[in-house]
Amino acid sequence: MGAPARDIGFDQAFLKKLEYLHVVARRVFAGRLRAERRSRKAGTGVEFADHRDYAPGDDLRYLDWSVYGRMDRLLLRLFEEEEDLHIYLLVDASASMRVGDGGGKLRYAAQVAAALAYVGLANLDRVSVLAFGDGLRARLPAARGKGRIFKILDFLAGLQARGETRLAETLSAFVHQTPRRGVVVLISDCYDPGGYEDGLNMLRYHRFEPSVIQVVDAREAAPQLRGDLEIVDMETGALRQVTLSPRLCEEYARRHRAYCEGLQAFCSSRGMSYIRADTAVPFEDLVLRVFRMGGFLR
Amino acid sequence: MTLAGLPWAQLLGLFAAGAAALTMLYLLRQRRRRLEVPFLRLWEQVLRQSEATTLWQRMQRWLSLLVQLLILSLLVLALGDPRLGASPRGRTLVLLIDASASMQAKGGDGRSRFDLAVEQARHLVRHLAGDDTAVVVALDSQPAPMGGLSQNERELLQQLDAVRVQDGPADLLRGLQLAQDLSAGRPNPQVVLFSDGGFDEATLAAVPAGLDLRFQPLPDGAARMAAAEGNLAITSFAVRRYRRNRLGYEVLVELAAFGPSGGSDGPSVPVELEIRQEGETVDLQQLTLRPGERLRRLYPNLGGSGTRLEARLRRRSGGDLLPLDDTAYALMPQRRRQRLLLVSRGNLFLEGALLSISAGEENQIEIEKVAPAAYDPLQAARFDIVLFDAFTPPEPPAAHALYLDPQGPGSPLPIVETVVAPLVTDVAKEHPVLRWVTLKDLNISRASVFRLGPNDVALASMLRRPILAALERQQGGKVRRAVLVGFDIRRSDLPLRVAFPLLLVNALDWLAGEVTDEALRFTTGQTWRIPLADRAAAPTGEADLVLPDGGRVPVPVHEGVALYHGQRVGFYELQSRGQRPVLLSANLFNPVESTVRLRTELAVGEGAARRVLPQPEMGRRAVRRALWPYLLLLCLLLLFLEWWSYQRRWTV
């Protein structure tokens, strides 16, 4: 692993934690082996799935001659094809992810993404990592096998928090650039002035299976600020003069809570997994929680 | 209210400058701190609700400024040191701290009576009322205030720290007089005496009535230490050389044992008495002293070359209550060999007396005799003293001289008349030449009357007409002394008296510049007159006195005598430029101090006016007249309030 990866905390201890998570994940999903994700398409599988009408050009080897004998119809036998699962880890690298100590939320998001990627790679799934902020910024092509984890770590370590969060634009670009469907894990604070709804719906409409991990720092959830301040939006640079009092901070915390709960309700109502990740909670605990919920990495 | 510190004009200037600076800081403080937030949209939702409270928040900021200005004004006012007017209840206290020798008596805990007295005085000072004024006076043999009258507790404590216990007695009456002078014209004067009460009855009886005098006895601990074993003391220690054998000397020591309460109660005490000469033990005796007993010991025929003698008294078991008076100091009189030229036609009386003086193993006087016709002034200049018997040279010799019946113009003092059968009516008894000499009923057939100069001394006179005189003259840069006897001794009955050889010895000693034994023995608590070795060579000016502890103090010299108020026992050395150093010794030798009496109650006055002194009252800690501590306290309180409100975000 290179020096940048170590800077963000991807050192030997981190790798040990990833291995630990992998072992735990295997226990949770004991009995499930590789390539268990199936698609209903004619393929080289062994388990019969369905019939369809023959069309010119189909492989004659898959014609069901017994049905033709009984019913005088040319039907093609379909099998459940065993195919690799595609996992897309979308990491928010916008400016608002700077909040927090030692690299802020972005570091935390990178750690979570690395952990999920490692477990996915270990399951021989195809894992692709993408960073966004001011649109889709960088992409690591899909890869398989544990050996690729170092590339992912280097990619994550190289991320810098900058730019605005524009989920609708970003996810729209993603779905159009990504032909293979799969699981999408959005790791972000979801602070989009334009709203998160359109973006997430875009994923749903294009048959991805979206999951949301909202990274939240305690400092932004319940700020302890007092006095005369000039607050600046990290992403847009918009200014606002304010005199903060405890009462005002309490009101802000209440509104923040309501915002997060709104996101959670949106995801739940649309069958999307949602997890709120407090940066104070160790990332490995969070990853285990993700496994237990079962929405990811089946 | 008055200001004891800065005047109003300066205070206002300071306040204006401070207020301007504060306001500027507040204006600077209005510049807001910039803070980045991740999602401004949420904040805007919140802020839309809080717009209504902004005005109140601005007012809160101004409230903070007002508090700061109030703190500033209090600080500036404190610099002015405002004071309330004196209340009629305020006392003027003079704290007399007994610093006499008996206050050095120590108890088992190692603390002396003086330490205890100062501690009590400190307690009183710390409990003075706010409008009380006080001053500390060190009560020793020369009472003196340690500072000015003050209300400042710290200053008074410093005055107390400056008091030093001395080795001498305390002059209570002078101390009281000083206290009266210090508190004269001031409200409610009161004198508080911190002492063991070790004063003699005559002094206590002479304490003036009408003085509000309070007595603070020492605490019980001191009483216990006094009740232990009483005190041993050397009350006299003297040494003198023999006239005939000046190498030998004898020593007189007087010891005294004072009972626990100053009386004669208690068992006998076995003691050791050691005589040391220049640090070497000369004699050691085992003695027993009964309480109240005075014991004299004479050590005759002692010899040795040392100058400094010490007597040390020790209990054979245990320590003494007052170690100060267990050691006494004395100096051996100096001896010098003298060469005498006798110019005489023959005088058996005179020669017999000189023979008796110069007899002995170690003659200090070498005598050479010449007839008047063979007198040679050059020869005379080689002698220390020239004795002219019924012969007067035309010029005085270049040496000290003793003239017996001088006549004619060569007489050092002009002869104004001759009286027949004079009677000696006036004698200068204090002069060294006449020490132990009695001239009463002296029969003289005829005597010359001298006319004295301004600095000449009439040793004996008849109705103010001097017939015996002493004089000192500057001659060739040296002092020449002369003694003139205005009659022929053979025509008087003086040679038949004991006074004659004494007069002769004294005159020779004085001419040789020897000081008497007593002249260099002093007791503490008195002003010493210390004669310089060559008095005429240093009539006025200054000399250095080396103290027993090695320190040096300049002392004034007047007419060849240095003046010093000594309060420490031990050996001293007077050093003056061009002079031989003069050694002297000082001792306590004060039975009143050595009694180390401890009174818990002190009665003063006599007869109907006799009264027991009450104890002093502690002040009620009222509001002090100096207001600055309260102003600073208020400042601190306001600062705390401001800090607290800031932390609670009330004034931001």
Q: Report the CATH number that the domain containing residue A126 is assigned in CATH.
A: 3.40.50.410
Mutual angle of helices B628-647 and B54-79, in 10-degree steps: 160
C-beta separation of B325 from B101 below 8 A? yes
- B32, A238: Cβ pair inside 8 Å? no
Whether A249 is in a domain gets the answer no
B652–A228 CB contact, under 8 Å: yes
Distance from CA of A289 to the nearest CA of B (A): 26
Asked whether residue A277 is assigned to any structural domain, the reply reads yes
Kindly state whether residues A194 and A137 are assigned to the same domain: yes
pLDDT value, residue A29: 45
Residues of B in contact with A98 (CB under 8 A): 36, 38
Examine the domain organization and report whether A78 and A122 are in the same domain: no
Residue B51 distance to chain A (closest CA, Å): 9
List per-residue pLDDT tens for chain A, 298 residues long. Answer: 444 454 556 677 777 777 777 666 555 544 343 444 444 444 555 667 778 888 888 888 888 999 899 988 888 888 765 566 788 999 999 999 998 887 789 999 998 899 888 888 887 788 999 999 989 988 998 888 888 888 998 999 899 999 999 999 999 999 999 988 888 999 999 999 899 999 999 999 998 889 999 999 988 888 887 777 888 999 999 988 887 878 888 999 999 999 999 999 999 999 888 989 999 888 888 877 776 665 554 4
Report CA torsion sign: B470, B531, B242, B248.
Answer: negative
Are residues A61 and A131 located together in one domain of the fold?
A: no
Same domain, yes or no: A127 and A76? no
Classify residue B633 by its DSSP letter.
Answer: H
Whole-number Å distance between alpha carbons of A126 and A140: 11
- pLDDT at residue B96, rounded to an integer: 95
* Residue A23 shares a structural domain with residue A43: no
Instruction: Examine the domain organization and report whether A14 and A115 are in the same domain.
Output: yes
A231, part of any domain: no
Q: Tell me if A240 and B34 make a contact (CB, 8 A cut-off).
A: no
Burial class (CB in 10 A: 0-12, 13-18, 19+), A102: exposed
Asked whether the ipTM of the predicted complex exceeds the cut of 0.85, the reply is no
- DSSP H/E element including B179: helix B172-183
Q: Do A226 and B652 touch (CB under 8 A)?
A: yes
Of residues B33, B43, B649, nearest to A252 (C-beta): B43
Size of interface A-B (CB pairs under 8 A): 88
| One domain for residues A22 and A137 | yes
Contact A220/B33, CB-based, under 8 Å?
no
Query: A43 lies in which domain range?
Result: 38-82
Whole-number percent of chain B with pLDDT over 90: 43
What is the pLDDT at residue A31? Answer: 37
- Of A49, A82, A115, which one is at a domain's C-terminal end? A82
Q: Nearest chain B residue to A239 by CA: give it.
A: B40
Interchain contact B373–A (C-beta under 8 A)? no
Of the candidates A96, A227, A246, which has its C-beta nearest B38's C-beta?
Answer: A96
Do residue A206 and residue A69 come from a single domain?
no
How near does any CA of chain A get to the CA of B7, in Å? Answer: 40
Q: What's residue B84's pLDDT?
A: 67
Nearest chain B alpha carbon to A98:
B38
Q: Do B37 and A227 touch (CB under 8 A)?
A: no
- Chain A residues in contact with B41 by the CB 8 A cut-off are 191, 193
Same domain, A97 and A78: no
For every residue of B234-270, DSSP letters joined together read: EEEEEEEE-SS-TTEEEEEEEEEEE-TTSSS-S--EE
- Do A45 and A173 lie in a common domain? no
- Of B32, B38, B49, which is closest to A234 when you measure between CB atoms? B38
pLDDT for B247 = 58
Residues of A in contact with B39 (CB under 8 A): 96, 189, 191, 193, 220, 233
Q: What is the pLDDT of residue A55?
A: 85
Q: Is residue A212 part of a domain?
A: yes
Are residues A171 and A46 located together in one domain of the fold? no
Instruction: Say whether B43 and A220 touch across the interface (CB within 8 A).
Output: no
Chain A contacts of B51, Cβ < 8 Å?
none
The answer to the question of residue A101 being in a domain is yes
CB contact under 8 A, B42 and A227: no
Contact B207, B605 (CB under 8 A): yes
End-of-domain residue from the set A59, A82, A105 = A82
Is A229 domain-assigned? no
Q: How far apart are CA A4 and CA A8, in angstroms?
A: 7
B contact residues 18-47, partner A, Cβ 8 Å cutoff:
30, 32-47
- pLDDT < 70: residue spans in chain B: 1-4, 29-31, 49-60, 84-88, 108, 221-229, 242-248, 260-266, 304-305, 334-336, 359-364, 476-477, 513-519, 534-539, 619-625, 648-652
Based on the domain organization, do A74 and A140 belong to the same domain?
Answer: no
Residue that terminates a domain, selected from A19, A53, A82: A82
- For chain B, how far is it from start to end, CA to CA, in angstroms? 37
Could you give the CA distance from residue B309 to residue B38 in angstroms, rounded to a whole number?
97
Task: Write the residue in A98, A220, A248 that is nearest to B46 by C-beta.
Answer: A248
Structure tokens at B576: 């003056």
Q: Are A230 and B45 an interchain contact pair (Cβ–Cβ within 8 Å)?
A: no
Decide if B39 and A230 are in contact by the 8 Å CB cutoff: no
How many domains does chain A divide into? 2
Residue A201 in domain: yes
Q: Which positions in chain A have a beta carbon within 8 angstroms of at least one beta carbon in chain B?
A: 95-99, 189, 191, 193, 220, 225-236, 238, 240-246, 248, 251-252, 255-256, 259
- The per-residue pLDDT for A34 is 40
Q: Is residue A235 part of a domain?
A: no
Contacts of A235 in chain B (CB under 8 A): 38
- φ, ψ of residue A196 to 5 degrees: the values are -95, -15
Rounded Cα gap, residues B460 and B428, in angstroms: 6
Report the chain A residue with the minimal C-alpha distance to residue B56.
Answer: A243
> Over A27-91, what HEC string results?
HHCCCCCCCCCEEECCCCCCCEEEEEECCCCCCHHHECHHHHHHHCCCEEEEEEEECCCEEEEEE
Give yes or no for a contact between B467 and B486, defined as CB atoms under 8 angstroms apart: yes
